[in-house]
Structure 1
Amino acid sequence: DSGEETAAGSDGNPSKMPPIENDTGRNELKSRIQGLIDSNQVMVFSKSYCPYCVKVKDLFKELNVKCNVVELDLIEDGPNYQDLLLEMTGQKTVPNVFINKTHIGGCDKTMQAHKDGVLQQLLESGDNEAYEYDLIVIGGGSGGLACSKEAAMLGKKVMVLDYVVPTPKGTTWGLGGTCVNVGCIPKKLMHQTALLGTAMQDARKFGWEFNETVKHNWETMTTAVNNYIGSLNWGYRVALRDKNVNYVNSYAEFIEPHKIKATNKRKKETFHTAAKFVIATGERPRYLGIPGDKEYCITSDDLFSLPYCPGKTLVIGASYVALECGGFLAGIGLDVTVMVRSILLRGFDQDMANRAGEHMEEHGVKFIRKFVPVKVEELEAGTPGRLKVTAKSTETDEIIEGEYNTVLIAVGRDACTDKIGLDKAGVKVNPKNGKIPVNDEEQTNVPHIYAVGDILEGKWELTPVAIQAGKLLARRLYGGSTVKCDYINVPTTVFTPLEYGSCGLSEERAIELYGQDNIDVYHSLFWPLEFTVPGRDNNRCYSKIICNKLDSERVIGFHYLGPNAGEVTQGFGAAIKCGVTKEQLSTTIGIHPTCAEVKQCSVTSEVFF
């Protein structure tokens, strides 16, 4: 490589390169050099003062890869080493780099190989045979299953470990992770249960006559929902078996960078090694750390399989989990109160969040704002029992008490990264939130360890994102693909009673990034046709798009509050990904009568709150 340190003796000065006395000595030294190359994953022949050598050594240190270095200026027969290296490789300069017996070259070639991804492949190519598996995936949720199945389809030997640590109430579940068992799937089905209740009230206005008292049976619903979930659990196990993925129902933790310990529910331990690992352990609900929280309260992990109707319920928190659960519990006729510390739906557009909350209040959900619980006491055991909650104002010294049958904690979720031995593998974790920082290829600071899903620092905590990231990761690792997961402009929906779909920036974030004068907000209140005959929720549904004036009114945020928000938002998500402008939206002819056509008749406004 040009500019690198030239090997001693290349200028023809014999005083710099004492000759090797005979062929035997020459062959012995050549054999010693070859032995160093063969026995070390990374072998660097260097000079201690050479800046190019320092650059290469720093690269391997940054990659957390151990490299063996021979400083040729510090050993007596360094010039003879250089003479033989020149003969063996045709390279006069240092550093002279070998990876898994393959000659890379000097500094420039090593840096280029790193940039091209070749370096990583070479680092991993040498000792795969020494490991039991090509890939071990820790976590059998959406991301982990997607990655493992894709890797197996690409011909790799794969193991998936999945273990559900029981909740304080003893709740556990099958393969598939949060979404399938205690998240999206049961949540949407119970939301649908509540919508059906509203539809039955509407039905009379449309001429349906029925005399029976309409009431809801909690046990019938949970049995039906959990039977369906059970079929999904079984389907996942069959899919893994069909793709020759070894599924193990054990708790995995690293004991070395390439080795894990797996402990099953009978405490039996086994040990497994792999060339690469994917961490996909997801998150679990956070508790409050107050007296009585784990003893008497439940979380979303317990709610969906609760064997009895929860009765009068206090939901603590203002997360999407809190509002979704509070919404469908109220929708099936329960007395629901939501206790909120500060704002609703942190991270979402606050105008939209408040509108969703106002709709809930109008439909019977009570809100206690700016209070936090300080203790939960049991007044009477039972299914449900009776609990007393004491709460304190966040602004004054006011203390309030309330009595409920069930207290549901939904104040957020924590990454499951603190008890899986990441320190023993050398994986860096954000100490504040337990999240794992990764690069744009989901690679941690340890080159052979990757992570996907909810545990990633600064990424969306959404099932489809984890699935996409997991699949694409496997294709990059084993299928020669270069396609990366796109975390920008991801559409999502909060399944509150009046659903809230969004894609792109919130109004607050758009102002922060572009300035208030450089964005336009187009907005509209509307009344869905299906709400008109029953005469409900007139002008409660709302949509707005946020446009960047500096870029041809390109749409940078889409927000919709109304029925079927997920179905409406998905198409707008595709349009935003394609760079749609306000004019293109306006000239797209709507389907009538639908809620999705509302974008064609929205009025324009300068930014407002």
Structure 2
Amino acid sequence: MPPVENTAVVEEPRKYDYDLIVVGGGSGGLAASKRAADLGAKVAVFDFVKPTPIGTTWGLGGTCVNVGCVPKKLMHHGALLKQHINDAKSYGWKVGEKETHVWGELVEKVQNHIGSQNFGFRVSLREKSVQYHNAYATFVDQHTVNAVDKRGREKTYTSENFIIAVGMRPNYPDIPGAKEYAITSDDIFSLGYAPGKTVVVGASYISLECGGFLKGLGFDVTIMVRSILLRGFDQECAERVGDYMKEEGIEFMRGFVPTKITQIEPGTPPKLKIEAKNTKTGEMVEIECNTVLFAIGRTACTESLNLEKIGVQVNPKTAKIVVSEAEQSSVENIYAIGDVIEGKLELTPVAIQAGQLLANRLFGNSATLMDYVNVPTTVFTPLEYGCCGYSEEEAREKFGKDNIDVFHNLFQPLEWVVSEKPGACYAKLVCKIDDNRIVGYHVVAPNAGEMTQGFALALRLGAKKEDFDALNGIHPTNAEVFTMLDITKSSGKELVASGCGGGA
């Protein structure tokens, strides 16, 4: 009897250990790794958190989950509850004359939630057969990384493709006492004691958000600002955010930079002294406080990856990786996503979507690229600021100052009427004159994030001003103001806040 022919397909051995190695376990890296695994790729994730100068560290999930969006939003909500308690009194609720806040209880709840998410990420990677390595990976060549774990053990791994998604970490100024006595947003959400009187240094959204919720939780807050608020955002809206925060009792020191921090007394919290200088007048001031929080920008975590050795182009000023529109670096098999790439938005949902789209292109025969323009975002300050598309300044620069008009108005939320809350909210649509298309949406109001998410779809689909005008408003809501904006900046007409979200 003739022998039976073996028709089984023999797979060729893999040339590399993995089809894809993702360096960085934040939101973008996790999204890319799981999508690649779904598409049949053999994937590994390397993630290692270097402690902050005061020793803070965290688990899998990156900045957003551990020391960014998630704990920030929870503490922001905790601060808003104090406003709601005050409002409740105007609505007939009988509450205690003096409410107290226990910092430690909030921190514990926040950290418990973060811990559950850290665990959930590890489980989801395991379910997707993505190998997770709690180790610091650096490049040996374009297909090899050397990984060192927390015990100092080293091992090399190879991969056909790499995605760098290491994110960014906060900057410290080069002044005496900065790293010894100050903290950053990497520390505040797990701080083991109430921060007390706090000086927040910086004018970024991180600075204003942290200063905002700390004030709302009952702490004395001063924000030290070198120049403008919320650089890169619409400046008219940025100043309205700042004005509202001043009404809430936050002190702004405009034009000052810190020069030295010293500890007067140790403790939890300690007693500190921060010295500062006015950049225009040279005036020197000293402030005694308990906590100094730096929010003066962030630097991409690329310095120790050996990228120069393998030819990956990095902007020396920002430490960010230069990539193509397809997130490809100067080395063809090495890609980058998220905060670490040059010239793109530093937002968690952007990193997630970019990572998923990149995995689709690498392993799913897709050609779809990430849209980095029509991206909604919100600054979670005491009065939130939501936006999508171009700021007024950017639109005038890109499309021509004579080709832009702005429809805007002030409005008073109906909920503020009974509590007689001072101030006003603001709505703005930036419109191209030649085709009437809306290229910028901006709102400074409670729940701005929820409003912005829906309206962002209109911008993405190319909505025109007449589309907004034809939309029926939901009355009485804040969002309905965008269906009836009829005052243009070019008209010079004075803005007067109307009630009921801009309605009758």
Give the TM-score of the pair, scaled to structure 2: 0.94
Distance 1:397 1:212, change over 3 A: closer
Q: What corresponds to 1:87 in structure 2?
A: none
Which secondary structure does the structure 2 equivalent of 1:487 belong to? coil
Higher relative contact order (CA 8 A, sep 6+): 2
Q: Which of 167, 170, 193 lines up with 2:52 in the alignment?
A: 167
Contact 2:408-2:489 within 8 A present in 1 as well: no
Q: Which of 259, 262, 265 lines up with 1:374 in the alignment?
A: 259
Q: Does 1:207 align with 2:92?
A: yes
Q: Which of 215, 219, 229 lines up with 2:114 in the alignment?
A: 229
Tell me the distance in 2 between the aligned counterparts of 1:146 and 1:172. 22
Which of these two proteins has the greater Rg computed from alpha carbons? 1
Q: What corresponds to 1:557 in structure 2?
A: 440
Question: Displacement, 1:212?
Answer: 5.9
Question: Displacement, 1:492?
Answer: 0.5
Tell me the distance in 2 between the aligned counterparts of 1:416 and 1:486. 24
Amino acid at match of 1:273: T
Question: Displacement, 1:195?
Answer: 0.6
Q: What corresponds to 1:339 in structure 2?
A: 224
Q: Does 1:590 align with 2:473?
A: yes
Tell me the distance in 2 between the aligned counterparts of 1:516 and 1:485. 28
Tell me the distance in 1 between the aligned counterparts of 2:403 and 2:79. 41
Report the RMSD for the aligned CA atoms in angstroms.
1.4
Tell me the distance in 2 between the aligned counterparts of 1:411 and 1:328. 18
Which secondary structure does the structure 2 equivalent of 1:278 belong to? strand
Amino acid at match of 2:32: C
Question: Displacement, 1:161?
Answer: 0.4
Amino acid at match of 1:367: F
Amino acid at match of 2:471: T
Contact 2:163-2:334 within 8 A present in 1 as well: yes
Q: Which of 527, 535, 543 lines up with 2:427 in the alignment?
A: 543
Contact 1:523-1:603 within 8 A present in 2 as well: yes
Tell me the distance in 2 between the aligned counterparts of 1:359 and 1:397. 28
Alignment of 1:237-252 (within 5 A): 237-252=122-137
Tell me the distance in 2 between the aligned counterparts of 1:129 and 1:516. 57
Amino acid at match of 1:278: I
Tell me the distance in 1 between the aligned counterparts of 2:397 and 2:309. 40
Q: Does 1:569 align with 2:447?
A: no
Which secondary structure does the structure 2 equivalent of 1:584 belong to? helix
Tell me the distance in 2 between the aligned counterparts of 1:390 and 1:327. 22
Alignment of 1:315-464 (within 5 A): 315-464=200-349
Question: Displacement, 1:603?
Answer: 2.9
How much identity, in percent, do the aligned residues show?
A: 57
Tell me the distance in 1 between the aligned counterparts of 2:167 and 2:395. 29
Q: Which of 474, 479, 490 lines up with 2:364 in the alignment?
A: 479
Alignment of 1:3-402 (within 5 A): 129-211=14-96, 213-402=98-287
Q: Per-residue displacement from partner, 1:476-522 (whole Å, max 9, x unpaired)?
A: 10011111111111111000100000111111111212233221111
Tell me the distance in 2 between the aligned counterparts of 1:517 and 1:256. 51
Which secondary structure does the structure 2 equivalent of 1:137 belong to? strand
Q: What corresponds to 2:500 in structure 1?
A: none
Which secondary structure does the structure 1 equivalent of 2:416 belong to? helix
Consecutive unaligned residues of structure 2, counting only runs of 5 or more, are 1-11, 495-504
Consecutive unaligned residues of structure 1, counting only runs of 5 or more, are 1-126
Tell me the distance in 1 between the aligned counterparts of 2:147 and 2:422. 54
Question: Displacement, 1:425?
Answer: 2.0
* Count of residues in Structure 1 that have an aligned counterpart in Structure 2: 482
Q: What corresponds to 1:466 in structure 2?
A: 351
Distance 1:597 1:128, change over 3 A: farther
Which secondary structure does the structure 2 equivalent of 1:179 belong to? helix
Contact 2:136-2:147 within 8 A present in 1 as well: yes
Tell me the distance in 2 between the aligned counterparts of 1:592 and 1:128. 65
Question: Displacement, 1:211?
Answer: 3.0
Contact 1:141-1:177 within 8 A present in 2 as well: yes
Give the TM-score of the pair, scaled to structure 1: 0.78
Question: Displacement, 1:255?
Answer: 1.2
